[in-house]
Structure 1
Amino acid sequence: MDAIKAAEYARALYSAHGDKAEAEAAQKMRACEAAGNMSEAKDWEAVRQAIRQIRGPNQG
């Protein structure tokens, strides 16, 4: 997943879940890792990092 796509997913997830969006992305990442889908887990990690940037510093 490229950075633009990750940012789009992050914005959508943040709009839908607010401050819980990062936790949601982390949960999806762990589920993918558990299923052995490391490529998709990496994508969710990129989304999680993009959400962290959207939230800004000192937000948890």
Structure 2
Amino acid sequence: MDTIRTAEYARALYSAHGDKAEAEVAQKMRRCQKAGKTAEAEDWKSVRQMILSLRGPNQS
């Protein structure tokens, strides 16, 4: 997933779920890892990192 798409997903999820967005994405990431979908898990990891940056410092 490219950086722009990652940022769009992160903003949309953060807007919809607020502080719970990171947990939602982490759960999706773990499901993908368990299913052996490593590329998809990496995409979700990138989205999670972007959400962390949207939340800013002292919010994690």
Q: Give the C-alpha shift of residue 36 in structure 1.
A: 0.4
Amino acid of the structure 2 residue aligned with 1:43: D
Q: Give the C-alpha shift of residue 14 in structure 1.
A: 0.3
Count, aligned residues:
60
Q: Give the C-alpha shift of residue 48 in structure 1.
A: 0.2
Runs of 4+ in 1 over 2 A off after TM superposition: none
User: What's 1:52 paired with?
Assistant: 52
Give CA deviations for 1:17-57 in whole Å, capped at 9, x if unaligned.
00010111110000000000000000000000000000000
- Structure 1: where are the runs of 5+ without partners? none
Structure 1 SS opposite 2:57: coil
Is 2:24 aligned against 1:24?
A: yes
Q: What TM-score comes out, normalization by structure 2 length?
A: 0.97
Amino acid of the structure 2 residue aligned with 1:27: Q
Q: What TM-score comes out, normalization by structure 1 length?
A: 0.97
What is the distance in 1 between the residues matched to 2:43 and 2:6? 7
CA RMSD of aligned residues (A): 0.5
Percent identity over paired residues: 70
